[in-house]
């Protein structure tokens, strides 16, 4: 345990790290003999704001001022600790921040354990509710006193590099990628269509494509039976129908275990709340989250109007993507206006006047030709695009038996 304590305290000598961690890393979290130095580091940063990295001379001087009556033997131990801190190799500020978060989580676990013992022995009958609150805080990464904003520290070259890199998530459809390229972590998209058009199959196609690239997918299914959703993703991944999969299961079982099952979690989520989705995402850190359907997710609070509730749910979707550095796809119905329309835009999104479309970076509507459709053609219409601004539609074919889309 002392390795992480030493590393965390050492990184706090750097002002940029201390600024990001000072509100949730406190002296009491360190061993008793170290706490005077932790107080000294805090006082030194407050007193000498211009110093970017505290040195031994500054720390010893401030420590002597703060603890003049400390016995010489303990003072010498503290000065030896200062030497140990300065010997720790400096690391990137983001890595230091990750160390601090892990340290905070371990300290919270210690506190939870102590309260659990108190509850079990009867010494603290109120501990159970406190424990529940603490567990929820850890699950949601709600660091004490942590700011809800983050200052961007990347320099000019890093910023340019981050905007011109290859997208994190592509579509597996070259005609769509030719125009939109793809999406990145932190993006929030909406997929919508009329019933029985193929939006769940399109989600299965995307999920199978992400899985083939080794990306972890979470799928919240509150519209269709979750087992059917998972099977559709599997058939889309192998591009075979379920009957063939049943007959040749021995041929595919190993790849299923290694590639699909290792990267796919499907939840039967009827009645699931926003809080449950956020907590599960926080704990399991997926690359992609599908919420099918978004409008049916429950949310805390009292809303006199349905449009206010829906707006808040879609705000949550955007925040989920940004805070957890993942791609989030919300799945929704299209209004009757989109019935038998080849090209549909987001004004035909069900409850489009709620403002939910305003939260999305990309909106894809799925349309279908009127009448007999022997080729199973669908039209993917991009009507909102904050990624690169392109708007238009591309024709694709859906394999009804496998759920796979192709050009």
pLDDT, tens only, 57-115: 999 999 999 998 899 899 999 999 999 999 999 888 888 988 998 898 888 888 888 88
Please return the burial class of 162, using the count of CB atoms within 10 Å of its CB with bins 0-12, 13-18 and 19+.
Answer: exposed
Q: How many residues does the chain have?
A: 407
Q: Where are the domains of the chain?
A: 2-139, 164-406
3-class secondary structure, 301: coil
| 127 confidence band (pLDDT: 50, 70, 90) | low
| Average of per-residue pLDDT across 306-326 | 89
Q: Which bin fits 271, alpha (ψ -120 to 50), beta or left (φ > 0)?
A: left
% residues pLDDT > 70 (the chain)? 90
pLDDT at 271 over 60: yes
pLDDT at 353: 72
Q: Which residues of 300-320 are buried (b: 16+ CB within 10 A; e: fewer)?
A: eeeeeeeeebbbbbbbbbbeb
User: Does 3.40.50.2300 match the CATH number of domain 164-406?
Assistant: no
Residue 144 confidence (pLDDT) above 60: no
To the question of domain 2-139 being in CATH 1.10.860, the answer is yes
Q: Which two tokens stand for residue 129?
A: 């509710």
> Lowest-pLDDT range, 239-253, 284-298, 366-380?
366-380
Intrachain domains 2-139 and 164-406 with the same fold: no
């Amino acid at each position: 345990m002392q390795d992480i304590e030493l590393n965390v305290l050492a990184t706090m000598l750097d002002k940029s790290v201390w600024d990001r961690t000072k509100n949730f890393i406190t002296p009491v979290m360190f061993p008793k003999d170290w706490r005077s130095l932790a107080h000294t580091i805090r006082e030194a940063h407050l007193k000498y704001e211009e110093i970017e990295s505290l040195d031994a001379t500054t720390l010893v001087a401030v420590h002597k001022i703060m603890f003049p009556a400390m016995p010489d033997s303990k003072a010498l131990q503290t000065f030896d600790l200062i030497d140990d801190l300065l010997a720790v190799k400096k690391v990137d500020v983001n890595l230091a921040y990750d160390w601090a978060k892990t340290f905070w989580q371990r300290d919270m676990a210690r506190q939870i354990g102590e309260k659990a013992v108190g509850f079990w022995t009867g010494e603290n009958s109120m501990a159970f509710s406190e424990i529940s609150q603490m567990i929820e805080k850890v699950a949601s990464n709600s660091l004490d006193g942590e700011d809800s904003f983050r200052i961007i520290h990347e320099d000019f070259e890093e910023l340019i590099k981050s905007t011109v890199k290859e997208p994190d998530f592509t579509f597996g459809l070259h005609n769509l990628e030719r125009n939109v390229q793809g999406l990145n972590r932190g993006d929030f998209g909406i997929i919508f269509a009329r019933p029985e058009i193929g939006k769940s199959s399109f989600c299965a196609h995307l999920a199978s494509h992400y899985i083939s690239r080794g990306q972890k997918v979470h799928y919240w299914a509150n519209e269709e039976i979750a087992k059917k959703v998972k099977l559709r993703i599997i058939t889309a991944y192998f591009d075979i129908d379920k009957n063939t999969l049943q007959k040749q299961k021995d041929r595919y079982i190993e790849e299923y275990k290694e590639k699909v099952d290792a990267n796919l979690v499907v939840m039967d989520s009827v009645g699931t709340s926003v809080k449950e989705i956020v907590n599960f995402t926080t704990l399991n850190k997926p690359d992609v989250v599908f919420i099918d359907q978004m409008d049916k997710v429950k949310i805390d609070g009292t809303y006199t109007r349905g449009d206010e509730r829906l707006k808040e749910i879609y705000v949550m979707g955007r925040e989920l993507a940004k805070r957890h550095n993942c791609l989030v796809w919300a799945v929704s119905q299209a209004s009757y206006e989109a019935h038998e329309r080849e090209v549909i835009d987001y004004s035909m999104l069900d409850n489009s006047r709620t403002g939910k479309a305003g939260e999305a970076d990309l909106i894809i509507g799925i349309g279908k030709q009127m009448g007999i459709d022997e080729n199973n053609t669908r039209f993917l219409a991009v009507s909102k695009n904050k990624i690169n601004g392109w708007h238009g539609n591309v024709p694709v074919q859906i394999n009804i038996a496998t759920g796979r889309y192709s050009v």
